[in-house]
Amino acid sequence: MSRAETGPASLYHRVVAWLLFLILLLPLAGTLLYSLATSWSATILPSGLTVHWYLDLWSDTRFLHAFGQSLVVCVGALLLSVVLILPLLFVVHYHFPRLDALMNILILLPFAVPPVVSSVGLLQLYGSGPMAMVGTPWILIGCYFTVALPFMYRAITNNLQAINLRDLMDAAHLLGASTFQAALLVVLPNLRKGLMVALLLSFSFLFGEFVFANLLVGTRYETLQVYLNNMRNSSGHFNSALVISYFLFVLVLTWAANRLNKDKD
């Protein structure tokens, strides 16, 4: 096919891609502009721009407290996931590869039950008695752990299949390494990209989770999404500043993780 034939088609595809990108960007741009507006009601453009709403947001101790608590439960759940999932996946793929089909079914169970139904059951189990955890961060960490399992399992499993685990382990054994040394020094560094993808995807999902947080802890351990829900009747400019701050935090975190991952290649 000649360059003249491919040129217009390539330009058409680029134009369509950019148009779709701009359409997806419009709501975010509108939210950003509204968060910077002094007032915006009956005019096409805001009457003025200010950072007043962002200053109010980041000086609000309740917001900072909710932001920190969201970080605590998300990081705690992801650390628990890494500690439990990595050894499990290594054992399954290296010693019991036939269990992978069963694991693929079991790992989807958290998505098979709606969060509202799960929350009702958890309220019954952990609402009272010796295992009373409703209203504490511990029940959220446990819930978030189960929610993160499918993301962690699928991403790391794909990475394990790509690196040819058995061949790597056999080569390490031939060089005199034990199974533990081979897993720690040979396999784990090769799982860095898959683990990074799993952590970023899980964190982005958990940081925005609302149903479990609202039903199981509510204002007793207010997370960022619960805080946003409780502030829904306040100024729309203030809420827009909150949404943009949340988006920028996730964006910067993703960029930093990708940059760190490239620097280690």
Give SS3 for 60: coil
pLDDT tens figures, 12-51: 888 888 899 889 888 888 888 888 888 877 777 777 888 8
pLDDT tens figures, 119-167: 888 888 888 878 888 888 999 999 999 888 888 888 888 888 888 888 8
Q: CA separation (Å) from 204 to 45, 68, 95, 238, 260?
A: 32, 15, 32, 22, 18
- Domain at 61-263, CATH from 1.20.58.1610, 3.40.1710.10, 2.70.70.10, 1.10.3720.10: 1.10.3720.10
| pLDDT exceeds 80 at position 8 | no
- Distance between CA atoms of 260 and 131, rounded to whole angstroms? 40
**What are the structural domain ranges in the chain?**
61-263
pLDDT tens figures, 92-112: 888 888 887 888 788 878 778
Question: Which tokens belong to 160?
Answer: 């394990």
| pLDDT exceeds 90 at position 72 | yes
From the list 67, 30, 117, the residue with the least C-alpha distance to 253 is 67
Question: Which tokens belong to 150?
Answer: 């499918």
Question: Alpha-carbon dihedral of residues 152, 153, 155, 156, nearest 10 degrees?
Answer: 100
Return phi, psi of residue 49, to 5°.
Answer: -120, 145
pLDDT above 70 coverage of the chain, percent: 95
pLDDT band of residue 265 (cuts 50, 70, 90) is low
Question: Which tokens belong to 144?
Answer: 């978030």
Identify whether the C-beta of residue 111 lies closer than 8 Å to the C-beta of residue 148: no
pLDDT tens figures, 159-193: 888 888 888 888 888 888 888 888 888 888 888 88
- The confidence score (pLDDT) of residue 67 equals 92
- Distance between CA atoms of 265 and 253, rounded to whole angstroms? 19
Q: CA separation (Å) from 79 to 75, 84, 94, 199?
A: 6, 9, 23, 9
From the list 19, 58, 64, 18, the residue with the least C-alpha distance to 35 is 58
**Cα dihedral 66, 68, 69, 71 sign:** positive
- The confidence score (pLDDT) of residue 7 equals 64
